[in-house]
Amino acid sequence: MPNAADPSTFDLVIVGSGSANSIPGPEFDDWSIALVERSTFGGTCLNVGCIPSKMFVYAADVADTIHTAATYGISASFDGADWPAIRDRVFGRIDPIAEGGKVFRCGTACPNIDVFLGLGHFIGDRELEVQLNDGGTTRIRGRHVVLGAGARPFIPPFPGLDRTPYHTSDTVMRLDELPKRMIVLGGGYIAAELGYVFSALGTEVTMINRSERLLRAEDDDVSQAYTSAAQRHFDLRLGATITQVSPEPSGGVSMELSAGGERQRVSADVLLVATGRVPNGDLLNLDAAGVAHDGGRVLVDEHFRASAPGVWSFGDLASEIQLKHLANAQVRALRHNLLVAEGAADGPMRSVPERLVPHAVFSHPQVASVGLTERDARAAGLPISVANKPFGHTAYGWAMEDHASFAKLIAHAETRELLGAHIIGPQASTLIQQLISGMTFGQTVDQMAHDQFYIHPALTEVIENALLEL
C-alpha cells in the first residue's frame, strides 16, 4: 500500500467499479492496476438502477395484471403486497453479486490489481489522492487513468428541500415498508418507473412535474399518450412550480405548489426526488489534471481520450446518453484502445457511434424509442413519411383488449431509410429490436416489411403493419 508522501505508479488506474470493472482481463495480466471505488461494487446499474428497478417493475406488472383481470372475464383480487418480501427477493440476489465482485478483485485471483476503497480525486497529472473509507488518505499515479465514476441523482434547489427528508432512486427501493402515500418529483423515466412500482403495489402516488407532459423527451405523440395513460396510476400535478417543501411534525412531508393557476398543498409519507442524474466529474477535481469538462461531464474524443494525455473516460461520466448498454459498448472499445495505445493490439482504435442508441422506459405502459422523433426530423427539414399503427388493429391486440398502444415509425420519404421508431405498449422494449437491427444494417423500410415473414397472429404484426403503411 503506498503512503501519502510517496505515490505508487501503476500501469492503469481505474476509477469506478461499474462497467469499468470489465477492463481487467487476461490481456492485462502483466499490467499493474489500481481500482478505486468509493461505494458498492458494480456501479449504478447493478445496485440502484437498471437491474433492481426492473425486478421491482416485474412485481408491479404482476400486481397490475391482477388489477385488470376482470377485463378478460377473470375473477381475481389484489390483497396487498408484502413489500419486505419483494425487496428482499431483489436485493437478496443483487447484494451477493456486488459483494462477490469486491471479494474477487480484492482476492488472490487478481494478483496484479490493488483495490482502493474510497473517493479518489486528481491532485496533478494522472495523480490521484484517495480518501479511504476506513480513514486516512493515499496517493496513486497511473500511466493511464480511466474515469468511469458514473453519475448521481440531481437534487433541485427547491425551497426547504435541504431541510426535508427525501429519497432518491439510490435509496427508495430499500424502504422498510410500503408507504401509504408518496410524492414523486419529476416526469422522466426514473419517476415513471419507480412511481409505477409503488402505485401498482398499493401506494397512493402524487406525481409533480414542471412540464405539462411526462416523458417529454419522447416523440410528442408518445409523450402525450403516456401522460394520458399515467392518470390511471398517479394523481398528476403538471405544469407545477414548487414554492415550499417542508417536513411534517408527525412525520412525512408536505409541499406547496402552483399548478393550473391555483395554489395547492400536497402531503405524503415519503418524498421521492426523481429529477434526473448528473455526472460525478465535479467530485474528481478534473482541473488539477488538465482534464477538460462541461460542468461535471468529462469531454472526450471519439476514442474516449480526455484532453489530458493518458486520461480516458466513458459512460455516464462522459456521455450525454446515460444508458448501461451504451456504457458497456464504450468500455469494450476503450479496452481495445488502451491495448492499441500500448502496442499490445492492432489498430485502428474503435469508436461507438451514438446515432442509433435505443432506450426504453419500463413503466406502464412501456415505452421504447430509437432514432429521430417526428419533431426532430421536421426541424431538420427532412422529407418524411409517418406511420402510426395501433396495437388494437392486430389480432393479438384484440386478445389484449388494447385500445391505446401504438407503434409510430418515421421514414425518409426519398431514401426509404427508417429514421425513427417509437412504441408505447406491452413489450415495447422487445418489439423495437427488429427495427434497431434494420436501421443498423441499412435496410430500407420496404426490405424490412417484405423480405421477412412476420408470425401470425403475433404482436410483431404491429411492426409489419406500420412498415407497410410507410
Q: DSSP states of 236-270 as a string?
A: EE-S-EEEEEEE-TTSSEEEEEEETTEEEEEEESE
Q: What three-state secondary structure class fits 220? A: helix
175 CB-near residues (< 8 Å, 6+ apart): 83, 87, 167, 270
| Catalytic-role residue among 303, 336, 403, 456 | 456
Written as nine digits, the cell of 44 is: 449504478
CB 43 within 8 A of CB 19: yes
Q: DSSP states of 100-117 as a string?
A: HHHHHHHSTT-TTEEEEE
Sheet holding 384-390, edge to edge: 359-361, 367-371, 418-424, 406-412, 384-390
Q: Looking at beta carbons, which pairs linking 23-32 to residues 24 or more positions away fall under 8 Å?
A: 23/146, 23/331, 23/334, 23/335, 23/338, 24/110, 24/112, 24/113, 25/335, 27/339, 27/344, 27/345, 28/112, 29/112, 30/112, 31/112, 32/112, 32/114
CB 123 within 8 A of CB 287: no
CA distance 136 to 132: 6
Residue carrying C-alpha cell 446515432: 355
Written as nine digits, the cell of 216 is: 417529454
84 CB-near residues (< 8 Å, 6+ apart): 176, 177
Q: Is 456 a catalytic residue?
A: yes
Residue carrying C-alpha cell 443498423: 440
Q: DSSP states of 69-92 as a string?
A: GGGGT---------HHHHHHHHHH
Number of H helices, E strands in the chain: 12, 22
Written as nine digits, the cell of 102 is: 469486491
Q: What is the CA radius of gyration of the chain?
A: 24
343 CB-near residues (< 8 Å, 6+ apart): none
Count of residues in the chain: 470
List, by residue number, the catalytic residues. 456
